[in-house]
A and B are shown apart, each in its own frame.
Chain A
Amino acid sequence: MTADGAVPALAAEGVTLTYDREPVFESLSLAIGEGQVTTLVGANGSGKSTLLKAFGRLLAPRAGQVSLSGRRLSTMPTRQIARQLAILPQKPLTPPATTVRELVSRGRHPHQAWLRPWTGRDAAAVEAALEATGLAGLAERDASTLSGGQMQRAWIALVLAQETPLALLDEPTTFLDLAHQLEVLGLVRRVNQERGTTVLMVLHDLWLAGRFSDRLIVLAGGRVVADGTPWEVLTPATLREAFGLEAEVMPDPVTGTPLVVPAAGSGAGGPPRPGRL
C-alpha cells in the first residue's frame, strides 16, 4: 500500500534476491506508483537490472514476494502477467529474415491463442505501435538492416503492441548516441503521457534520468539510498554515497531539471592539459 492507500501498480515486499547464493538485495520493499515514469539508477553492479528482473518475474526472489496490482506474481499464469506487464530486456535477439512489422507483431503473443489467432484488434495495435514509433515507413524493411536507433524504436514498438498498462525497460538507451538517446526517452515519455503507461526503467545517465523521470530510485550496496523526485534525489551527498562521485547539481538551462556536473579532478575526467597526453 502506498501512502494514499491506493494499490501500487507493482510492489516488492521483503524481497531477497540472490545470484548463486550471493545476496544482491535482502528484504527489500519498494512500491511503484501507477502512471509514473520511475527510473532505477546506481553504479555498475548496484543491482538495478537484478531488481528490474525480479519485478518482471525473470528472477524469482529467494524470499518475499512481488505483486502486480495487488496480486502475487508467483500465483499468476505467465501469459496473464504478459497482458499486464511488458519487458524490454537489455539484449533482445533479432530473428533473421523478419520484417519490422513481423517483429512488432510478436508483441501480440500474449493476446493470441489457438482458437483466436490474429484479429483486426491485433493488426490495429501493431499499426498504432509502428505509427507511434515513427516506423510506419520502415514496416516492410528487414529488421536486421535497421540502424541502432531504429532498432531500439522497433523493440519499443513491440512493447507498445503488447498493449500493457505497465512496461519495464532495461537500459533502453545503451549503444545509442546522444541524439538517439533523447529520441528514445522522448518516445517513452510520450507513451507514458498519451497512453498512461506506467514505466519502470534502468538508466545510466543521471542527467537523462533526471530529465525524463517523475521519480528516481538510487541503489547502492544492496539497498535504496535515495528515493524521490529528481531534485530530491540528485544531491551532492547522494552522488558521493552512491557513485563515489564529487559533483555539483545545477538546473538544466533548457528544462530546469537537475544537471549533474562532476567536479574537476573527479575520476579520470578534467580538461586535458598542454604538454600531457
Chain B
Amino acid sequence: MVAAVLLAGAVGIGLGGLMVGSAPFTLQEVLGVLTGAGTPAQELVLLEFRAPRVVAGLAVGASLGLAGALTQTFARNPLATPDILGVTSGAALGAVAAICLGGGIYAVGVPLLALGLPATAAVGGLVTAALVYGLSWRHGIDSYRLILIGIGVTAALSGVTSYLIAQAKITDAQAAAQWLVGNLSGVSWASVWPVVAVLAVVAPVAAFQTRNLSAGQLGDELAVGLGVPLGRHRLIVIACAVLATAAAVSASGPVEFAAFVSPQIGLRLARSARPPLAASALVGAVLVAGADLLVRGVLPGERPVGIITAMVGAPYLIWLLTRRRGKGEEL
C-alpha cells in the first residue's frame, strides 16, 4: 500500500521532471514523445537532454535508499549509512583526484569526463570498501568493528581529499566542490546506464535477503539458531550496499543524506520493524528526483541536488519523528 503510493509518486515526479525545464512541455506532449508521436526537436530535448537527468535522479535515489536500508538493518543502527563502509569517501577521493590531478576537468575532455570521472569514483569506492571489509575481518565480520574501521578510513581519506582540493587550482577546486555536494547537471545516458544496470542486479539479490534481515534483527546468535548462514548473508548485504552506492555516487557525486534519511522515512511510513527495502528505495527515488525537479523548475539558478535533498529530507524526517513521539517508537 505504502509502496504503491510511493511508486505512483515516483512516476509522477518522473513525468514532472520531463515537463519542467528551460523549454516547458505539457503532459500531453511528454506522453506523446514517450509513445513515439513527438517531433524530432521534442525528442531531442526530452530523450537526450532531459530524460537522462530524470532517470539518473530516480535511479540514484533508489540505489541510495536501498543501500541505506541494507546497512542500517544489518548494523542495527539508524546512523549506519553506506558511508561507514568507506565507499563514499573512497569514491570522493577517486573523483577529486581525477579532477585535481588529471590535469583539470577541462583537460580530461568531455567524453572522458562522462566516463572517466564516474569510473575513477567507482574504482575508489569499491577499493576502499574492500579495504574496510578486509580490515574488519576477524573470524567473521563484526558490525561494530566494521563501523569503527569505516569511520577511521573515511576520516583518513577525507583528509587526503581536502588536501588535494586545498592545493588545487581554483577552477579545479570549484569543480571538485561541485562534485562533492552531489550534482545531476552533467549527467548523460553514458553515466546513467551503469546505475540502472547495477540497480537491476542488486535489487532482486537484496530482496532475497529480506527474511534473513528480519531474523538478523534478533541478534547474531539467535539468527544462526534460526538457520541464517550469517557470514554469507552479511557478505551479500554489504556487497549489495557497496555496489549500489558506488554506482550512484559515481554518477551524481555523494547525495549523502539520501541514504540516511530515505530508509528512516520508509520505516515510519510503513510502520515496520526494520526499514523496508522497496519503500526505502522508492522514498530515495522520490526524494532525489523530486529535489532535482525543484532545482530545475522552481529555484532560481542551478543549485546542486545534494543540498536540496538535505534541506527537504531532514525537516521531513524531524517532522515525522516529533509527530509520532510518545508512542514508544524508537529510531
Contact = CB atoms under 8 A, between A and B. Distances in A.
Interface of A: 53, 56-58, 77-83, 85-89, 91-93, 95-98, 102, 106-107, 109-110, 112, 114, 142, 144-145, 162, 168
B218 interface: yes
A96 B77 CA distance: 12
A128 to B, nearest CB: 18
Contacts of B227: 78-83, 109-110
**Interface residues of chain A: helix, strand, loop or mixed (majority):** mixed
Contact of A92 (B211, B218, B272): B218
Interface residues of B, number: 23
A79 B328 CA distance: 34
A169 to B, nearest CB: 11
B273 A102 contact: yes
Contacts of A56: 224-225
B229 A78 contact: yes
Given A78-B224, A85-B225, A93-B219, 17 more contacts: A57-B224, A58-B225, A78-B227, A80-B227, A82-B225, A87-B221, A92-B222, A93-B76, A95-B214, A95-B218, A95-B273, A96-B273, A106-B226, A109-B226, A110-B227, A145-B328, A162-B226
Interface of B: 76, 208, 211, 214-215, 217-219, 221-222, 224-229, 271-274, 328-330
B208 A58 contact: no
A89 B222 contact: yes
A57 B226 CA distance: 12
B2 to A, nearest CB: 14
B57 to A, nearest CB: 30
Given A96-B273, A106-B214, A114-B208, A91 B219 contact: yes
A114 B208 CA distance: 8
Contacts of B219: 89, 91-93
The 3 closest A-B pairs by CB, nearest first: A82-B227, A87-B225, A89-B221
Contacts of B328: 142, 144-145
Most chain A CB atoms below 10 A, which of B219, B221, B228, B330: B221
A119 B330 CA distance: 31
Nearest to B221: A89
Nearest to B73: A95
Contacts of A102: 273
A60 to B, nearest CB: 9
B224 A95 contact: no
Given A107-B226, A109-B226, A58 B218 contact: no
Contacts of A83: 227
Nearest to B139: A60
A55 to B, nearest CB: 11
A34 to B, nearest CB: 20
A93 B217 CA distance: 7
- Among A85, A95, A142, A145, max chain B CB count under 10 A is at A95
